[in-house]
Amino acid sequence: MKIQSILIYSFVASATLLGSACRKYVEIEQNDRRTLKTTDDYRYLLNNKGNFETSYLLPLVTSDNIAPEVASTAASVWGGSTQLAYIWSAQFFTGDQQDGGWNNLYKHIYVANEILDGVMDSQNGTPAQKLAVAAEARVHRAFAYYSLANQYAPVYDPTKAESQQGLPLLLTVDLFQNLSRVSLARIYEQIITDLTTAINNLPNYPSFNYHPSKVSAYALMSRVYLTMRNFEEAGRYADLALALDPTIYNLEDFTRDETFPRLIDDKEVLLSKTSAGYMIGPLNPELISLYKEGDLRLKLFIDNEPGTYKGYIYKKPVFNSSGNYYNASYVGLSSPEVLLNRAEVYARQNNAAKVVELLNLLRKKRFSADKYVALTTADVNSDLLQYVIDERRREFVGTDLRWYDMRRLTLDGGYFKTITRTFNGQTYSLNAGSPRLVYPINERVLSFNPEIGQNPR
C-alpha cells in the first residue's frame, strides 16, 4: 500500500475532506517515497511528532482568559484571524486564508486512518506489536475528534445530542466518502469506541510523552465524559488514571532559575500536544485576581511586563528536545487535569471533604511553602463547584481547556457569565446561548465541500 496525501486548495498540507462536487487533488508521496509494508513502517508514522503533535491556536484566543479590552498596539502583533477570533466574528478567515486548527486535526485523523487501514495486515510484526500501533492511532484520532467537536460543533447536551449537528466522520482513507455531518452523539460514540478499543493494548506509561498510553487514554476518557455530563464515568476514569500515580511537580523546585523540564521530559505531560502558534496578548485582570499571595503559578506560568502594552501574559515555556523554546503553548493531557476532573465530579456530588483533599493535594505543590495555607471544608462550602472551576482556571491558564470549560458550563446556569470585549472602539458580547460559541467552518473548505454546511452565525 502506498500512503497518499490529498491536497485540496482549502488545506495547507495533508487534506482529509473531499467533496463530491469538486474533488481536485494531487498525489504527493511521503516518507521518502517509502511504501508502507512492515509494522515498523507504521510505527515510524507514529514516531514522527509532526504527524500528531501540532494542533490549533484559537481556543487560547476566544476564551475569557484574554483581557476584555486590547489596545490596537497589542492587537497589531496578531494576525487578522486572531483579531477576528477575539471578537467571535462570523468568519475567522478571509480570502484564501487557511484554518490551521481544522487542517491539522483532520490531518491527524487522516494519518491515523492510514495506520488503522493497513497495520494489522503489515509484515514482520507480532500481533501484539500491530495492536499497540493501532491503539496509539485510535487515541490520536479520538483526541482530534474531541478537539474538533469542541470548536466546530455545538456544546454537547445529552438531551439533544442525537439531533445536534456534529462533524464529517472519516474512519477510512477512502477519498470519496460522504462528507455530510453525522450527529454529535455519533462523534462522541466514536471517540469512546476508539478509546475503549485502544486501552488494553497500551502500556501504563509511554517511552516518550508524545505516544499515547493507558494513563493518557484514561485522562482523555475522563475529559470526554465530563464534557458529556456523564459525571460518574468521568470520575471513574479519573480514578483509573490516578491509580497509576501520575506526577505533579512541586513548583518550588523550579523557582530558582525558572526553568521547566523540556516537553519531552515533562512528567506532568501525559500526552504531548502543542498549539499551532503562540498567543501573545494581555490576560484578563479577573483571572489574575484569582491567584493568591504565594501562588507560584503567577510567577512561573504568567509574566508581568509593566510599561508595555502587554500587561500580564502567559509565559510558561514549551521546550523542544534540544532545550530551545517552541513558539507554542501546551494543549495536551496532563496530571493536574485528571486531579481537577475528579475534584469537579466530587463537587457535583457535594462531597466537600474529597474536594478539599484533592485541591490541597494540588495547591500544596503550587504555593511557596511559607505562604501555603490548606483549604478547609468551611472555605469551600459556599460553592464547591466554583472553587474547582477557579482552580482549573488558575492551573490551565494559557491552554485550550478554559474555552472547553466555558462551553460546557453554559449548561450549568450561573457558572457561565456573559463576556464583553471592546476592540477598535466597538463592543462585542458572548452569552450562554450564542451560536458564536461554535467556530465557523472555513469558507475555502466549504467551497470545495459544500455538503459540510456552515455553522449558524
Say whether pLDDT at 75 is over 50. Answer: yes
Say whether pLDDT at 196 is over 60. Answer: yes
Tell me the CB-side half-sphere exposure of residue 276, using CA atoms within 13 A: 21
pLDDT per residue as tens digits for the range 379-424: 999 999 999 999 999 999 989 999 999 999 999 989 999 999 999 8
Tell me the CB-side half-sphere exposure of residue 437, using CA atoms within 13 A: 24
pLDDT per residue as tens digits for the range 292-329: 999 999 888 887 765 554 566 666 655 444 444 446 78
H or E, element range at 347: helix 335-348
CA distance 287 to 336: 18
Distance from the Cα of residue 74 to its chain's centroid: 25
Say whether pLDDT at 434 is over 60. Answer: yes
Residue 261 vs residue 185, higher pLDDT: 185
Q: Are 23 and 454 in contact (CB under 8 A)?
A: no
pLDDT per residue as tens digits for the range 1-59: 323 233 322 333 333 332 333 333 223 344 444 589 999 999 999 999 999 999 999 99
- State phi, psi for 431 to the nearest 5 degrees: -110, 175
- Per cent of the chain over pLDDT 70 is 87
**Closest-CA residue to 346 (of 372, 377, 371, 368):** 377
H or E, element range at 352: helix 352-363
Cell of 416: 457561565
CA distance 339 to 226: 13
Strand partners, 367: 295
